[in-house]
Amino acid sequence: MKKINIIVAAMAVSSGAFAASEDLNAAFQKMMDTSFKTTGIADKSRMKQTDFQRICSAEKEPSKKAMESIEATQLKTIRYPADGKYFGDWKTGEKIATSGKGLTWTDKTPFDNGGGCYNCHQLSHKEIAYGTIGPTLQDYGKTRGNADDVVKYTWGKIYNAKAFNACSNMPRNGDAEILTEEQMKHLMAFLFDPESPVNKK
Amino acid sequence: MRQKKLYVLLAALVAGVGGLSSTAALADESADAIARYREMIADGNPSELVAAQGEELWKTQRGPKNANLEKCDLGLGAGVVKGASAQMPRYFKDTGKVQDLETRLMTCMQTLQGIDPKEFVNGKWNKGEMEKMEALVAYIVTESNGQKINVDLSQPQMKKMYELGKKAFYYRSGPMDFACTTCHGEEGKRIRLQDLPDLRTQSGAAAGWGTWPAYRVSSGEFWTMQHRLNDCYRQQRTAEPIYGSDVTIALSVYLAATAKGGTVLTPGLKR
C-alpha cells in the first residue's frame, strides 16, 4: 500500500514536471512567433524550423541514431553536376570564398551570395584573416589528391554538409540555394587546383 | 634508439610549430594593432560624448507631456541611475513584465513624457527618437561601469525568461541553419580575426554582456544591446527581431544571468 502511494506520488511529480516543460515549449513557440517580422528578403517564415534544425537545437547533441537518420535524408538532397564537370576557375572561386555577403535582410536579392568560407576556414597560404570555427582547408587538394571519391565527397560536403554530420555548423550551400552549381564548381577549383593559393605557397 | 625516435619527433614538432607560427604571428600582429588602437582611444571613448547628450536628455522636459525622466524607475527607485543597468533586465511590478534597459526606458518615455513606443519599435537606428534612446542608454550604462553584473533570477518571471532565452540561444533556423551557438558555443573560436566569446560560460558571457552597449569604431556609431542582438540575428540570416520583443529580453536575461558576477565595462569600445 505504501509502495503504491509512493508510485502515485512519483507519477504526480513527474507529470507535473512534464506539464511545466509543455508550458515552456508553448510559451517558447508563442515568443518566437510574436518576436520576429519580415524585413526585405528575410521573410518571417525563416523562423520556422525544418525537422533537422529542430533536432539540432538541443543543448546536447542528438542520439547517434537520430543523427544517422538526418544524414541519410540529407544525403538524398545532393545533386552532382549533370555534365560531370566539377571544376571551374579557381580565381573566381577565391572571390566567392572571400565574400561573406548574402541572404541578410539588408541584401537586395537572395541570388547573389558569397560562400563566406573565410569566416570559418583557413584556405589560401596568403590570407591571414580566416576564422577557426571550421577545420583548416589549407593544402586541401595537395594533401588529399583528386581521386573521384575525394572530389565527389567534397562536392557533397559543400552542397549539403548535414549529409555527413547531421548538426554541422556549415550551411547547406547547394541544398539551401545559397550558391549556384557554377559557384560551387569555382570553389572546387579553388580547393583542388595545384595553382590555387590553397595548394601553392 | 628510443632517444633517436624522440629527437625525430621533437624536430617534426618544432618544424610544425614553426610553420604555424608564421601565420599565427601575422594574425596576432593585427589583433595587437586593434588592441593598441583600443588603448590609444581608451582615455577618450567616443561614447562619452553620447553619454553627455543622454544625461542632458534625462533632465530635459520634452514630449507631449513636457516632462523629464527624473521620475523614471529603473528598478532601484525613481530617478536612481547609478548601478541600475548592472541589475537589468529585471521584473517590474508596474508593467508586469521583465524589461531590459531599453524597454524600460520606452515605458518611462511613454508614461512620463507621452512618447509613443512605436517611435522605437518602427524606428531606425541612429535616427529620430531612437538616437535619443541611444544617448540615454549611453548615459545610464556609463553609470554602472565598474559594478558587478547582478541580475536576480529569484522572481519566477525572470526564471521563465531565462529558460526561454536559453532555448532561443540554441534555436537553429533560416537558410543557413545558424543559431547563437554556431558562433558562441565553443571556446577559443573566431570569425575571420574577430575573437568570439563562448556565451554559455560565465567568463564568455561576462566578456560579451559586460562590454555592450558599446561604441563601434568601424561604423562610428553607438550601439545599444538591442542593436547588438538585432545585428546578430541579421548575420544569422533569420527574420528581423522586433525592437524590444520578448526574444530579445529572454536572450538578455540568459546572457546577463550567465555573466553574473562579472564586471560591467560599459560602454565598451569595439572594432
Q: What ranges do the domains of chain A cover? A: 1-35, 37-201
Percent of chain A exceeding pLDDT 70 equals 91
- In which band, very low, low, confident or very high, does the pLDDT at A195 lie, cut at 50, 70 and 90? very high
Cα separation, B29 vs B25, whole angstroms: 6
How far apart are the C-alpha atoms of A171 and A165, rounded to whole Å? 11
Per-residue pLDDT band at A2 (split at 50, 70, 90): low
Q: What is the DSSP letter of B127?
A: S
User: Which residue type, as a one-letter code, is found at position B59?
Assistant: K
The reply to whether B108 belongs to the active site is no
- DSSP secondary structure of chain A: -HHHHHHHHHHHHHHHHHHHHHHHHHHHHHHHHHSEE-BTTB-GGGGSPPHHHHHTTSSSPPPHHHHHHHHHHHHTT----TTS-----HHHHHHHHH----SSTT-S-TT-----GGGT----SS------SSPP-TTHHHHH---HHHHHHHHHHHH-GGGTSTT-SS--TTTTTSS-HHHHHHHHHHHH-TTSTTT--
Which of A21, A77, A132 has the highest number of chain B CBs within 10 A, making it the mutation to test binding with B?
A132
Catalytic position from the list B72, B180, B183, B232 = B232
Which residues of B are less than 8 Å from A48 in CB distance?
173
Mean pLDDT calculated for residue range A133-159: 98
Measured between beta carbons, the chain B residues lying within 8 angstroms of A128 are: 23, 26-27, 30, 193
Q: Do B173 and A39 touch (CB under 8 A)?
A: no
Residue ranges of domains in chain B, CATH in brackets: 47-270 (1.10.760.10)
Please identify among residues 110-169 of chain A the ones whose CB lies closer than 8 Å to any CB of chain B. Answer: 118-120, 122, 128-133, 162, 169
Residue A6 has pLDDT above 80, yes or no: no
Segment A134-142 mean pLDDT: 98
Q: How far apart are CA B232 and CA B226, in angstroms?
A: 10
Contact list, A115 vs chain B (CB under 8 Å) = none
Distance CA B136, CA B140 (A): 6
What's the pLDDT score for residue B10? 38
**pTM for the complete prediction?**
0.88
CATH pick for A37-201 out of 1.10.760.10, 3.40.50.2000, 3.30.70.20, 3.50.50.60? 1.10.760.10
What is the residue whose three cell numbers read 554530420? Answer: A165
Q: Read off the pLDDT of residues A88-130 as tens digits, 9 standing for 90 and up.
A: 999 999 999 999 999 999 999 999 999 999 999 999 999 999 9
Q: State mean pLDDT over A164-193.
A: 98
Q: What is the pLDDT of residue A44?
A: 98
Question: Binning pLDDT at 50, 70 and 90, where does residue A22 land?
Answer: confident
Please, are residues B163 and B98 in contact by the beta-carbon 8 Å criterion? no
The distance of A108 to chain B (nearest Cα, Å) reads 13
Interchain contact A109–B (C-beta under 8 A): no
Q: What pLDDT, on the 0 to 100 scale, is given for residue B271?
A: 82
Q: Please judge whether A46 and B239 are an interchain contact, meaning their C-beta atoms are less than 8 angstroms apart.
A: yes
What element of type H or E holds B190?
Answer: strand B189-191
**Chain B interface, best mutation among A55, A57, A170, A173, by max B CB count within 10 A:** A57
The residue ranges of chain B whose pLDDT is under 70 are 1-31, 33-43
